[in-house]
Amino acid sequence: MSLFQTSAWQHAWWREWGRTPGFRLLGAGGAGASGLYLDKYLFKRLIPVRCLQYVGTNYRRISTPRTEYNSISPTNESFEASVRRFESLLSSCRWSEAVFRDVSKGSREATYLESLAGEAGWGYRVVDEDTAYAVETRGRFDDYLAKLGPNTRLRLYNRRKVLETCGEITLADAWPDNVGYFLDLLNAFHVKRWQQPCFSERSLRFHFDFLDKIGEEGGVPDLSILYCDGNPVSVLYNVRYRGRIYNIQSGFELGLHKKLSLGTLHLGYSIEDAFREPDVTVFDLLAGAGKNEDYKSRLATSTEALVSVMLVKKPLFKMLYWLKSGI
């Protein structure tokens, strides 16, 4: 069960985006399962679509914080029982296509969705593939460092001495008293670097809601701020849940020192702390490559393939996708 299938994440997402015109909740998420909803809209203002999707995801219409490791099966139910419940839902509502995003590629669920489409005569398309990266934190941090490439080790750890020449370095956790300040810093760093905030107003409301509730399920936010001479220069948005630390977002000041990769150095402190925590076994960097460089692949000790698939039920859609693919 991942952080993204907690009630805190699932319900906060639906509270914020469930009001979107055309959305209808079919089953709430939580306890290890992603909820399901129907998105009814006109594609290209012409073709009526009824798209079945996981709560926390949307195909085509809106952009929201990414929800990974999706599953239909809660922890308190067998996979077979989840399949029966899922198939009952599929038969009880009208849908033209279904898009299931960021499912673990090697999971029973991914295999099941493909076989279900084949047995039912529905179209099946892989619409996206990605890789989630993680650092296994059992063992010693020094051993982990020793296995990194020399340049990666330099950026993650060895240049701490250079950082210390810039001023007094301190770390502080903004949770729970300074969440707004932390998120403002994160947005400000992104605006300065990418000319747009990390989180929209709606995403900010979602994250406030999620952070407020995740403690009820045993999650522990770590909103890490790195200061240089009292000035914030880097932030990491982490949440610990069930022995895993999820690195959700980050941001940092550009140009503090030409030899420093400030965001990577800050990650180094958090990864080292994870090695010290006896109850933490994984530091999860999540899916996606960096905008300028694929730093996650160089830091990771393990990976998990994610796949996003579409099931196409309506004959017209099957024909349109068939023509689009050029098969």
- List, as one string, the DSSP characters of 75-105: TTS-HHHHHHHHHHHHHHS--SEEEEEEEET
pLDDT at position 314 is: 67
Q: Is the pLDDT of residue 210 over 50?
A: yes
CA nearest to 136, candidates 321, 283, 295, 315 = 283
Per-residue confidence at 324, pLDDT binned at 50, 70, 90?
low
Q: What does the pLDDT average to over 201-218? A: 98
Q: Is the pLDDT of residue 317 over 70?
A: no
More confident call, 34 vs 292: 34
Per-residue confidence at 202, pLDDT binned at 50, 70, 90?
very high
1 token code pair: 């069960």
112 token code pair: 């099941």
Percentage of the residues of the chain whose pLDDT score is greater than 90 = 91
> What confidence tens digit (pLDDT) does each residue in 11-29 have?
999 999 999 999 999 999 9
pLDDT at position 45 is: 83
pLDDT at position 316 is: 59
Task: Provide the mean pLDDT of the chain.
Answer: 95
Q: Is the pLDDT of residue 323 over 80?
A: no
- DSSP letters, 6-72, are SHHHHHHHHHHHTTSTTEEEEE--BTTB--EEEEEEEETTTEEEEEEEETT--SSS-------S--S
Per-residue confidence at 327, pLDDT binned at 50, 70, 90?
very low
Per-residue confidence at 107, pLDDT binned at 50, 70, 90?
very high
* All domains of the chain in start order, with CATH: 3-130+306-325 (no CATH), 138-280 (3.40.630.30)
pLDDT at position 38 is: 98
Q: Is the pLDDT of residue 326 over 50?
A: no
234 token code pair: 């880097």
Q: Is the pLDDT of residue 196 over 90?
A: yes
> What confidence tens digit (pLDDT) does each residue in 153-184 have?
999 999 999 999 999 999 999 999 999 999 99
Pairing of strands 302-312, 97-104: antiparallel
Q: Count CA atoms closer than 13 A to 186's CA, side-chain side.
A: 23
Q: What does the pLDDT average to over 116-136? A: 97
CA nearest to 175, candidates 217, 197, 208 = 208
pLDDT at position 112 is: 98
pLDDT at position 9 is: 98
pLDDT at position 151 is: 97
Within the chain, residue ranges assigned H as helices are 7-17, 79-92, 108-120, 141-147, 150-153, 160-164, 179-194, 201-214, 262-276, 295-299, 315-325
Q: Is the pLDDT of residue 289 over 90?
A: no
Residue 32 to residue 11: CA distance in whole angstroms: 13
Q: Is the pLDDT of residue 105 over 70?
A: yes
Per-residue confidence at 137, pLDDT binned at 50, 70, 90?
very high
> What confidence tens digit (pLDDT) does each residue in 55-75 have?
999 999 999 999 999 999 999
Q: What does the pLDDT average to over 295-321? A: 87
pLDDT at position 46 is: 86
Pairing of strands 244-252, 282-287: parallel
Cβ-contact 232, 226 below 8 angstroms: yes
58-72, 122-136, 225-239, 308-322: the lowest-pLDDT one: 308-322
> What confidence tens digit (pLDDT) does each residue in 255-275 have?
999 999 999 999 999 999 999
Classify the phi-psi angles of 196: left when phi > 0, otherwise alpha if psi is within -120 to 50, otherwise beta.
Answer: beta
pTM over 0.85: yes
